[in-house]
Structure 1
Amino acid sequence: MSRLVIISNRVPPLRGRTRAAAGGLAAALSAALRTHGGLWFGWNGEVTETQSETVSIQREGSYDIATISLSTENHEEYYNGFANRTLWPLCHYRTDLVAYDRSFGVGYHRVNSLFARAVRPLLKPDDIIWVHDYHLIPCGTELRRLGLTQRIGFFFHIPWPPYDLVATLPEHRELVRALFAYDLVGFQTKHDVQAFLDYIVEETDAVHTSAGKLSCFGRSLSVAAYPVGIDAKTIASLAAQGEAKRHVARMVESLSGRRLIIGVDRLDYSKGIDRRFSAYGKLLERYPEHRAKVSMLQIASPSRMEVAAYQTMRRQLERLTGRVNGQYADYDWVPLRYVNRAYPHSALAGLYRSACTALVTPLRDGMNLVAKEYVAAQNPQDPGVLILSRFAGAAYQMPRALIINPYDEQSVVEALARALSMPLAERQERWEVLMASVSREDVDAWREHFLMDLQSSSATPPEE
């Protein structure tokens, strides 16, 4: 059986380091490697003064984790630059935040070439290669240049934007052309697939082959939607175990009989946290009966704090927290608890279970696994209510959530009021439908569906 090789920007935590940060997706990919055997390659998180091409390899059970460091220049231009100041805001429809800096693009391609050169000696002729996310779009092209002919798949975890937004990139055609080095490209939703196809129709001369592929730039490519799931069984089990119960007890004690609304996100402008805080403040203004009867907990783990937009957002959220609490708090009640730290899944499972409502309101999101984790962590006898943005990829799979438009503050306020007053029978009915979907379309189904399609695809020869 062919080995599986995963290439991503970061790798899961190595043995001997904390594994709290390793989420469900990393666990699912690790499970695939344990089954198939193979290799996971990526950046080790270390930044050095000069670039080394030395690869460190550590055995992790039945597979290897191979890592490389990045120089300060490469980290700034590739990671902080093109990946997170160009592609990330563009793919989340924030062209006002996009930095069109040519040096970022140069660094981006340089690091993708570095990754390809570093991993190439570790590969075997029959390996199946799976490259992940927006950081590594050109990696397939660089691997083909080094002579690889085997099947290579690519999964794009974030939203693919409309073609006219893609076209704002100075080198957009070259970026899309790089995707045709792969045999299979997966997106989160059918909406993303259609946006990609719209670009192909408008900007290229691609044709559909008899095999259902796209043919362009001298290669054929399959494109499909593969919605990422979670390990629902594990989350449900964690929520019912001792450590989660301790967090539940601690949370319940601190609430003093009040109900809890929860939000859990990375600190990112795409998550709509500022609008969420404003809507919660409006709930307390328009529905005074909820004052001192409910509290909101927002967990926002810091990320990319070297980027100015994230620093600005953090200050903005701190001001909004102070405004809501200053207007409505009492000496024995803090309406809004805002926490800048990450928690392990065992703690999050307990906090999810403690909350009567989850407020998941991204302005644009590839999937949003928090929505699914909240559902999986609920007590079937007394489940909470999920309020979910229509602009999260998860909304396509979770229509029994209360679907809202995060740009419409009144709709969010009304959804909160409805969730807080929803009868038990309706909460249970909605939860049962949501839980069935989350369990059926879990992370194992996502992984196996993609790999099955990749293995059955026919590798096409490199472009001349």
Structure 2
Amino acid sequence: MVHLVIWSFTASSSSSWRVMNRTGAYDKLYAFSFMCQLVILSIVSLKILGVCSRAEDRKIIVADFLPLNSMKDQATGQWCFTWDQDSLLLQLKDGFSSDVEVIYVGCLDADIDISEQEEVSQKLMEEYKCMPTFLPPELFQMYYHGFCKQQLWPLFHYMLPICLHKGDLFDRSLFQAYISANKKFAEKVMEVINSDDDYVWIHDYYLMLLPTFLRKRLNQVKIGFFLHSPFPSSEIYRTLPVREEILKSLLNADLIGFQTYDYARHFLSCCSRMLGLHYESKRGYIGLEYYGRTVSIKILSVGIHIGRLQSVLNHPATASKVQEIEKNFQGKKLLLGVDDMDLFKGISLKLLAFELLLERHPTLREKIILVQIVNPTRSMGKDVKEAIEDTLLITERINNSYGTPGYEPVVLIDKPIPFHEKIAFYVAAECCIVNAVRDGMNLVPYEYVVCRQGTEEMDKSRGFHVGSTHTSTLIVSEFVGCSPSLSGAFRVNPWSIEDVSDALYRSINSGETERQMQHEKHYRYVSTHDVAHWARSFSQDLKRACKDHYSWRCWALGFGLNFRRERGITCSCKKGRKRRWKKGICPQGNKQQRMERIALSVNPTPHHTHHLETCEQPLTQLRHDAQGNESVGNAHSCTDLAGWVQLCFSLFICKWVFCSFLAFLCCITSSFSCCFGLVEIVGVAVSNAASNAASSLLKRLWSLKSTTKTGILHSTLASLVSLSMLLT
């Protein structure tokens, strides 16, 4: 950006001086305005240098909810907030260096009255670096519980609304609410973003349209998107009526992350089959060509925060709860399941497999117990209600059939419990089973392995010797994202009750050595692939992807959502190198040819097409210049292009007036503080599209022969570049 300021001033100075020499314009007012331009551009350059240096250490994390706990003090009526230590968004900060400024954007888990929203926003921004997004209750209901939970979430988990009673059909009004909510998130991001050097990291399917709205406002913004849920195969995803809109929006990100290779493969297949895009692997990185940009694909599983678990393990309340559990279930083997209450966690299938185990092996009765912890869900659709009813019915049937006085085979905990009690069950359980029929990642097995490893204080409280070996046994569904990383676990098909029952039997009868080897292998992986490793790796790949992108000037293409595909000026030109077509965007000729051209695509908006044809002749000459290697292509007509350039003449006058006004204020105040303030008020935020547009067209006109008309046009375009640094 600073190079553009310096270049534009130099070009404007030289061309304007040549024009003055020809016309004899040496009056003092013109010279005074010319000197003012030098002062203002110098100030702006220094300001931009300061902004860029600060912006390198800023990351904006955008998610559906902020990592905060909200509570209103009934005595004072004031809202109180605390960090949610279990939130992944808060834990990922460990992957950043200490000098990185992290800002969160998202909704609150509480209803804030409209009269209190401004005060709450200011408080959260000052104390927690959090920018809350307040959505009207009706909009939130349609956006979150409607489109996200009733349509996107089931589809991404391979559930199609074949019948009305099996799912909700697509509702266009819910998608409009999804668009409106993403727009509001984009507005909040724009309030906290400082410059194009800030990195924006968007999380999960709640905000898949956000990259489009951010790219439309800041075309050089650095965007990373990570999908925590599964991404379905193309045969499933193509049933979504708004499939292309969502794909195009995601492709406006610089880096798209997935939990597993299968999810990334499904996404690439959708882009290939529905958008006709091609992808390839270069130096270990997967790239997807989209309108001249290479969108990088990242495959990296989320990890857990080991330090958080170890601190809870060392808490006295946790050790006390472990002793209580071991005393209550003394002499019995404890099997554990921890799942959210929804249709895809396979809780009912797990219970049926456990019932079959007790039926086939009567000797195991009164010797094993299955503790099923059910986490509360945020959405209460009819599918969730059916899952709850099935779970309660099967649990009651098992306990009535195989239970005895003082013994219940299934202990169902369907109410919220403190986190340390959940950790205590992890420690006491000899086997953990995750039986989801479809899940994005599921970190329960990772947490179980770390808790079974324990700490020195936990070992002492349980009567173990320091340095003693530890064991664990895992039964994991093959449809869960963490399954490939747990090579020592018993992998099962959750739809096969017999397979799950056999896996339960083998885990109960496995030897001590086998369980120890499995545990050591799993703990070695989990401890080295924690949440800090995940965040650090994603951040590094995002920087690498953006570094290559923004050496190309190729903006404002492929927005989706019925946005025009080419708006304003689009230029594909490598900065500081020979100008060549970038692979995949050359609209004419053989792609194998390496033509030294620069593509200038102009698509002026309708209200610009009525301008006079002032510059038609020089542009026509430029277009048909047979001697040069440059061409202007993909424009509606030279008349439209001339109309766009005519607008530059009007802005040319505004620039000199504005510079003169600022210079006058500087003189009367004998300082630059007033100038700094005015520059910030009118917007130091740069209109990059205008800057690159004028810069591209200016470089074309530079190659023309020196004439009075082209010299004036040259000066005008250079002035537009300078003005775009001051006016948005």
Please give the TM-score of this superposition, normalised by the length of structure 2.
0.61
1:39 aligns with 2:73: no
Moved more, 138-147 or 215-224: 215-224
1:111 aligns with 2:181: yes
Residue-by-residue CA offset, 1:148-170 (whole Å, 9 max, x unaligned): 52211000001010011111001
For 1:14 and 1:446, locate their aligned partners in 2 and report how far apart those are by CA, in whole Å.
24
User: 8 Å contact 1:305–1:311 — kept in the other structure?
Assistant: no
Q: Cα distance 1:222–1:70, how it changes in 2: closer, same or farther (>3 A)?
A: same
Q: Which amino acid aligns with 2:171?
A: D
Aligned to 2:524: 436
Aligned to 1:28: 91
Aligned to 1:395: 483
User: 8 Å contact 1:244–1:350 — kept in the other structure?
Assistant: yes
For 1:141 and 1:234, locate their aligned partners in 2 and report how far apart those are by CA, in whole Å.
36
Q: Cα distance 1:169–1:217, how it changes in 2: closer, same or farther (>3 A)?
A: farther
Aligned to 1:90: 155
Q: Cα distance 1:99–1:242, how it changes in 2: closer, same or farther (>3 A)?
A: farther
Aligned to 1:350: 424
For 1:68 and 1:52, locate their aligned partners in 2 and report how far apart those are by CA, in whole Å.
13
The Cα of 1:62 is off from its aligned counterpart by: 8.5
CA RMSD in angstroms comes to 2.4
1:182 aligns with 2:249: no
For 1:337 and 1:210, locate their aligned partners in 2 and report how far apart those are by CA, in whole Å.
49
Greater strand percent: which structure?
A: 1
1:462 to 556, 564, 567: 556
User: 8 Å contact 1:85–1:98 — kept in the other structure?
Assistant: yes
1:329 to 393, 400, 403: 403
Q: Which amino acid aligns with 1:247?
A: K
Aligned to 2:206: 135
Residue-by-residue CA offset, 1:369-416 (whole Å, 9 max, x unaligned): 001101111146342311111111101110101111111111111111
Secondary structure in 2 aligned to 1:270? coil
Residue-by-residue CA offset, 1:408-455 (whole Å, 9 max, x unaligned): 111111111111111111110110001101111111111100000001
For 1:213 and 1:52, locate their aligned partners in 2 and report how far apart those are by CA, in whole Å.
46
Secondary structure in 2 aligned to 1:359? strand
Moved more, 381-390 or 45-54: 45-54
User: 8 Å contact 2:472–2:515 — kept in the other structure?
Assistant: yes
Aligned to 2:194: 124
Q: Cα distance 1:410–1:303, how it changes in 2: closer, same or farther (>3 A)?
A: same
The Cα of 1:258 is off from its aligned counterpart by: 1.6
Aligned positions of 1:49-60 closer than 5 A: 56-58=121-123
Aligned positions of 1:64-213 closer than 5 A: 64-96=129-161, 97-125=167-195, 126-208=197-279, 213=287
Aligned to 1:11: 66
User: 8 Å contact 2:95–2:533 — kept in the other structure?
Assistant: no
User: 8 Å contact 1:232–1:439 — kept in the other structure?
Assistant: yes
Secondary structure in 1 aligned to 2:336? strand
For 1:61 and 1:278, locate their aligned partners in 2 and report how far apart those are by CA, in whole Å.
52
For 1:255 and 1:349, locate their aligned partners in 2 and report how far apart those are by CA, in whole Å.
16
For 2:126 and 2:329, locate their aligned partners in 1 and report how far apart those are by CA, in whole Å.
43
1:383 to 468, 471, 475: 471
Aligned to 2:650: none
1:232 aligns with 2:287: no
Please give the TM-score of this superposition, normalised by the length of structure 1.
0.93
Q: Cα distance 1:118–1:51, how it changes in 2: closer, same or farther (>3 A)?
A: farther
Aligned to 1:448: 536
For 2:539 and 2:439, locate their aligned partners in 1 and report how far apart those are by CA, in whole Å.
24
Aligned to 1:414: 502
Moved more, 409-418 or 300-309: 300-309
Secondary structure in 2 aligned to 1:422? coil
Q: Cα distance 1:210–1:409, how it changes in 2: closer, same or farther (>3 A)?
A: closer
Aligned to 2:358: 284
User: 8 Å contact 1:37–1:63 — kept in the other structure?
Assistant: no
For 1:309 and 1:51, locate their aligned partners in 2 and report how far apart those are by CA, in whole Å.
37
Secondary structure in 2 aligned to 1:313? helix
The Cα of 1:303 is off from its aligned counterpart by: 0.8
Residue-by-residue CA offset, 1:10-61 (whole Å, 9 max, x unaligned): 1112485566x64252332343578311310101123479899857144589
Between Structure 1 and Structure 2, whose CA radius of gyration is higher?
A: 2
User: 8 Å contact 1:261–1:359 — kept in the other structure?
Assistant: yes
Identity of aligned residues (%): 29
Q: Which amino acid aligns with 1:74?
A: L
User: 8 Å contact 1:37–1:62 — kept in the other structure?
Assistant: no
- Structure 2: give runs of 5+ residues left out of the alignment: 1-55, 71-79, 162-166, 454-467, 558-565, 567-728
User: 8 Å contact 1:261–1:295 — kept in the other structure?
Assistant: yes
For 1:208 and 1:256, locate their aligned partners in 2 and report how far apart those are by CA, in whole Å.
57
Q: Cα distance 1:52–1:239, how it changes in 2: closer, same or farther (>3 A)?
A: closer
The Cα of 1:345 is off from its aligned counterpart by: 3.5
The Cα of 1:68 is off from its aligned counterpart by: 2.2
Aligned to 1:272: 346
User: 8 Å contact 1:34–1:63 — kept in the other structure?
Assistant: no
For 1:109 and 1:422, locate their aligned partners in 2 and report how far apart those are by CA, in whole Å.
52
For 2:435 and 2:297, locate their aligned partners in 1 and report how far apart those are by CA, in whole Å.
28
For 1:358 and 1:174, locate their aligned partners in 2 and report how far apart those are by CA, in whole Å.
40
For 1:339 and 1:387, locate their aligned partners in 2 and report how far apart those are by CA, in whole Å.
20
Q: Cα distance 1:188–1:38, how it changes in 2: closer, same or farther (>3 A)?
A: same
For 2:106 and 2:175, locate their aligned partners in 1 and report how far apart those are by CA, in whole Å.
19
Q: Which amino acid aligns with 2:91?
A: A
